[in-house]
Amino acid sequence: MMADLFGCVKRSPWFGWFGVALGMLALSHTAVMAQATAQLKAADLYEKKVFRDADCLILKGGTAPLNRLTRMQGGLAVTNLNLTYLGKPLHKLIADDFRILPELLMQCEKIDAEVANYQAKRLQILVEDARTSHDSSLAWFADVKTEVAKMTGTAADIRRVHDLETELQSRNMEMTRADMRRMVDWLGEQRDLLYQKPRKGPEINGVGLFNPGPTLPPDSPD
């Protein structure tokens, strides 16, 4: 094919090079299509793998109740990402795990194909949404750390830290227990450090360690 193309160049340079360009484009397209076809065939073979009894053991012993999770309304609490399925915590499941899950359920548990595919997809959505919530809370706390680092120990700072501690508790379903412990400890340490700083400006109602004083509306002057 390439010899024919370059023969065209000799006979008619302009049309010849145009033909070469088209030919190269066709070859490139063919190569891409061949690669995509090979990948699809590989994926199909992977998904249609015949699982042995030993392979089916991966469905046993987990702490995540698949049937209950995939039937429930609403989302998955971030704290539940530590539940285990397919031999690992939910937060460590990857795309390949969700891809083979329908076949595992059909072959090992004799579950109908439609139900198996629904459960795998539903579990993937629950896990990914919980991960998104977790990431959002981590980003929120990163902003909190930046805000607290700028505090100088005023009465307004003290009240703000207490408000942040309250907000942190309200986010307990969006974090792992380890995250929550770490954040609670850090905020508590920063609060105590702020109390130890010389108070700048008049205190309001004798702000003390366990009495942050009244919480004023956001638009009220200190």
| Pairwise pLDDT comparison (213 vs 82), residue with the higher score | 82
Angle at 110 between CA 67 and CA 71, to 5 degrees: 15
Give residue 44's pLDDT band: very low, low, confident or very high (50, 70, 90).
very low
Mean pLDDT value across the chain? 78
Query: Residue 79 is part of which domain span?
Result: 53-131
Tell me, yes or no, whether 40 and 97 share the same domain. no
- pLDDT value, residue 211: 52
| Pairwise pLDDT comparison (6 vs 127), residue with the higher score | 127
Tell me, yes or no, whether 68 and 8 share the same domain. no
In tens, the pLDDT along 49-93 reads 788 888 899 999 899 999 999 998 889 999 999 999 999 999 999
pLDDT above 70 as % of the chain: 68
Q: How far is CA 185 from the centre of its chain?
A: 24
CA distances from 155 to 36, 143, 199, 202, 209 (A): 64, 21, 8, 8, 11
Tell me, yes or no, whether 209 and 168 share the same domain. yes
DSSP 58: G
Residue 15 and residue 131: Cα distance in Å, rounded?
A: 56
In tens, the pLDDT along 155-192 reads 999 999 999 999 999 998 888 888 999 999 999 999 99
Whether 139 is covered by a domain: the verdict is no
CA distances from 18 to 14, 29, 201 (A): 6, 17, 80
Tell me, yes or no, whether 40 and 57 share the same domain. no
Tell me, yes or no, whether 94 and 110 share the same domain. yes
Whether 146 is covered by a domain: the verdict is no
Tell me, yes or no, whether 89 and 158 share the same domain. no
Instruction: Give the CA dihedral 4, 7, 12, 13, nearest 10 degrees.
Output: 100
Q: Which of 99, 131, 163 is the last residue of a domain?
A: 131
Tell me, yes or no, whether 173 and 204 share the same domain. yes
Q: Which of 64, 98, 131 is the last residue of a domain?
A: 131
Tell me, yes or no, whether 30 and 63 share the same domain. no
Encoding tokens for residue 222? 């200190």
Tell me, yes or no, whether 113 and 159 share the same domain. no
Overall average pLDDT of the 126-135 stretch: 94
Whether 142 is covered by a domain: the verdict is no
Whether 136 is covered by a domain: the verdict is no
- The count of structural domains within the chain is 3
Tell me, yes or no, whether 65 and 30 share the same domain. no
85 three-class SS: strand
Q: How far is CA 32 from the centre of its chain?
A: 31
Nearest alpha-carbon partner for 116 in 184, 66, 172: 66
Tell me, yes or no, whether 118 and 165 share the same domain. no
Tell me, yes or no, whether 116 and 77 share the same domain. yes
* pLDDT beyond 90 at 131: yes
